[in-house]
Chains A and B, each alone.
Chain A
Amino acid sequence: MYVIAVYDVNEKRVGKMLKLCRRYLNWIQNSVFEGEITPVKLQEMVVEANKIMQKEEDSLILFKSRDARWLDKEVIGLERMSTDNFL
C-alpha cells in the first residue's frame, strides 16, 4: 500500500517521531512522509508511534491508498526531497 503520514506532536517528542518515520517512509518535508509500505509494517510503525505520542496532545494522520497510481502528486514550489530509489 502507499501511505502519506503527517504528524503534529509536541516539540519534545518531535525528534523521536522523525527518527521513527524515517525508518519506514521517505521524508518529503517537515512532518510529512510518504512511501510504499506493507500493511503489517505500517501497523508496526503505528505501534511504535503510540509509544512516543501522548494522545491528548499529539496526532499522527495517515492517508492510505492501495497503490501509488491512485494518487496524483503535484509539487508547487520547491520539492524538498524526492522519493526515488535511484540516487
Chain B
Amino acid sequence: MQVTATIIAYFHTCLRKMYLHHHGIRMEHTSDVVYEGKLIGESTYEDRAAKNTQLELDGIKIDYYDAKTKTVHETKKSDKMEHAHEAQVLYYLYVLQRNGIEGASGIIEYPTLRQRKHIDFDPERDVPIIEGWLQEIEQILEQEQCPPVINKSICKSCSYYDYCYVAEEIEN
C-alpha cells in the first residue's frame, strides 16, 4: 500500500478522517481553510522558483526540496497541529532514506507566524517508529467499518465537520 503524507498527517489528527480520505470520501474541496493552506504553501515558494524542486517519490509529493543542502521544506499555516506536521516531515525523510538519500533534514515553515522548526532524522530512532505507524495505518484502512467521530475541539474547523456531525433529531 502506498501511504501518502496526507494519510500520515491524518493518522496523527483523526483516524476517521484518515479512513474516509483514503477511501475517496474527500471533503477538502469544501473548505476555505484547506484552500488557504494550499495557497500559503504555493505563494511561499514563489520567489524561490528558480531553485524550486518539486519531488515525487513513492506516492509522496514534496513541495520544495533543496537538493544541495538535502533539506525538505514544508509550509503550514498554523502550528496548531504541530505533531502531525512533524510526523509528515519525518515521513518524507523516511521515504527519502528508503530511496537512498541519506542524511536529509527538514524545515517546517510557518510564514504567517514568522517561525520555522527544524526536523532531524535519526534512522535508528525514527525508522522503527514510522514502520510502526505504517503497520497500524494499514490495519485501520483495511477495516470494513469507518472509525467513529472523535468529538474534539479541532473538529469544528475540519473540512469533514458537516459530514461527521450532521444528524436529525427524532420528531417530537
Q: Which residues of A contact B (CB under 8 A)?
A: 38-40, 43-44, 47, 51
Q: Which of A40, A47, A51 contacts B32 (CB 8 A)?
A: A40
Q: How large is the interface on B (under 10, 10 to 19, 20 to 34, 35 or more residues)?
A: under 10
Binds A, one of B35-43, B92-100, B122-130: B35-43
Per DSSP, chain A at the interface is helix
B43 / chain A contacts, CB cutoff of 8 Å: 47
Per DSSP, chain B at the interface is helix
A39 / chain B contacts, CB cutoff of 8 Å: 32
Q: Smallest distance from the beta carbon of A69 to chain B beta carbons, Å?
A: 21
Q: Smallest distance from the beta carbon of A29 to chain B beta carbons, Å?
A: 29
The yes or no answer to B171 lying at the interface (CB within 8 A) is no
Q: Smallest distance from the beta carbon of A3 to chain B beta carbons, Å?
A: 15
Q: Given A43-B36, A51-B46, 4 more contacts at CB 8 Å?
A: A40-B32, A40-B35, A44-B39, A47-B42
What residue of chain A has the Cβ atom nearest to residue B32's Cβ?
A40
The CA of A39 and the CA of B46, in the complex, are separated in Å by 21
When each residue 21-40 of chain B gets 1 if its CB lies under 8 Å from chain A and 0 otherwise, what string results?
Answer: 00000000000100110010
What residue of chain A has the Cβ atom nearest to residue B36's Cβ?
A40
B35 / chain A contacts, CB cutoff of 8 Å: 40
